[in-house]
C-alpha cells in the first residue's frame, strides 16, 4: 500500500456540517467593526499515515477574559502581526477550562485531540480598510495561523474559508501541519443504502 510523504487527513462529513452550523451564523453577522471568529477542536484517532477526524467540540473564546490571552495579544501578537489584532473580536483563545473538558470527554470516548478548525471569511469583501481589502483571505494559513499552528503543535489544522458571490455562500476546507505544510485532505463517504 503506498504511503503519502505527509500523513493524510480523513474528515467525516458530519464534522464539516457541524462546524458550518455554527460558522454560518457567525459569518452572516460579520461587520467591518466586528470580525468575529469561529473555532472548534478536532477529535479522532491517528496512525502513522492517516488522521481520522471523527467529530469536533466547541469551547468559549477567552480572548478578553483570560489574563494570559490578554497579555499574549498585547505583548506578542499585536507587535508581531499588527494593529488589526487590537480589535478584541479578532482572534480566538480557547478557554483553558473548555480545553480541559474537551480533553477529558475525548479521553473517555477513546478519542484524541488532533487539532483545530477555524473560519476564514472573505474579509476583503467586508472590511473598509484599504490594506485589508488588498489582502484576500483563503483556506491557506496567514502568518498568524502559522504562528498558532507551530505554538500548539497539533498535527491537524483545518481552515474553512467562507465566501459570498452572486448571492450564494460557499466554502472550502484545507488541512495544514504544525509547520504550515499542506496535508492531503479526504472526506469519508457516507454509507449509501443499497
- What's the CATH number of domain 8-183, 3.90.650.10, 3.30.420.40, 3.30.450.20, 3.40.140.10? 3.40.140.10
Q: 70-98 pLDDT, tens per residue?
A: 999 999 999 999 988 999 999 999 999 99
Strand segments (E) across 27-138: 39-47, 50-57, 112-121
pLDDT given at position 106? 98
Q: 96-122 pLDDT, tens per residue?
A: 999 999 999 999 999 999 999 999 999
Is residue 169 within 8 Å of residue 163, measured between CB atoms?
yes
CB atoms within 10 A of CB 13: 11
Using only C-alpha atoms, the chain has a radius of gyration, in whole angstroms, of: 17
End-to-end CA distance of the chain: 28
Contacts of 9 (CB under 8 A, 6+ apart): 50, 51, 53, 156, 158, 175, 183, 184, 185, 186
What are the domain boundaries of the chain? Answer: 8-183
pLDDT at 24 over 80: yes
Could you give the CA distance from residue 81 to residue 72 in angstroms, rounded to a whole number? 12
Mean pLDDT, rounded, for 138-145: 94
| Closest by Cα among 41, 43, 57 to 12 | 43
Q: Which whole-number Å values give the CA distances from 100 to 60, 81, 97, in the listed order? A: 12, 28, 5
Residue linked to cell 460558522 = 23
Type and span of the H or E element at 108 = helix 96-108
pLDDT given at position 156? 97
pLDDT given at position 65? 95
pLDDT given at position 124? 84
pLDDT given at position 3? 44
Q: How confident is the model at residue 192 (pLDDT cuts 50, 70, 90)?
A: low
Is residue 88 within 8 Å of residue 123, measured between CB atoms?
no
% of the chain at pLDDT higher than 90:
78
pLDDT given at position 136? 81
pLDDT at 172 over 60: yes
Type and span of the H or E element at 131 = helix 130-133
Amino acid at each position: 500500500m503506498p504511503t503519502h510523504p505527509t500523513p493524510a487527513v480523513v474528515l467525516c462529513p458530519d464534522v464539516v456540517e457541524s462546524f458550518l452550523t455554527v460558522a454560518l451564523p457567525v459569518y452572516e453577522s460579520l461587520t467591518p467593526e466586528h470580525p468575529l471568529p469561529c473555532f472548534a477542536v478536532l477529535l479522532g484517532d491517528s496512525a502513522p499515515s492517516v488522521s481520522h477526524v471523527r467529530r469536533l467540540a466547541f469551547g468559549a473564546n477567552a480572548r478578553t477574559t483570560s489574563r494570559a490571552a490578554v497579555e499574549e495579544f498585547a505583548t506578542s501578537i499585536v507587535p508581531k502581526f499588527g494593529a488589526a489584532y487590537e480589535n478584541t473580536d479578532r482572534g480566538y483563545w480557547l478557554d483553558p477550562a473548555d480545553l480541559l473538558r474537551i480533553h477529558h470527554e475525548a479521553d473517555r470516548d477513546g478519542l484524541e485531540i488532533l487539532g483545530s478548525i477555524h473560519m476564514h471569511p472573505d474579509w476583503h469583501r467586508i472590511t473598509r480598510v484599504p490594506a485589508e481589502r488588498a489582502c484576500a483571505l483563503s483556506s491557506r494559513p496567514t502568518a498568524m495561523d502559522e504562528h498558532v499552528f507551530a505554538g500548539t503543535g497539533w498535527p491537524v489544522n483545518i481552515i474553512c474559508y467562507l465566501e459570498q458571490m452572486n448571492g450564494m455562500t460557499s466554502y472550502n476546507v484545507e488541512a495544514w501541519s504544525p509547520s504550515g505544510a499542506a496535508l492531503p485532505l479526504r472526506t469519508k463517504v457516507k454509507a449509501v443504502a443499497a
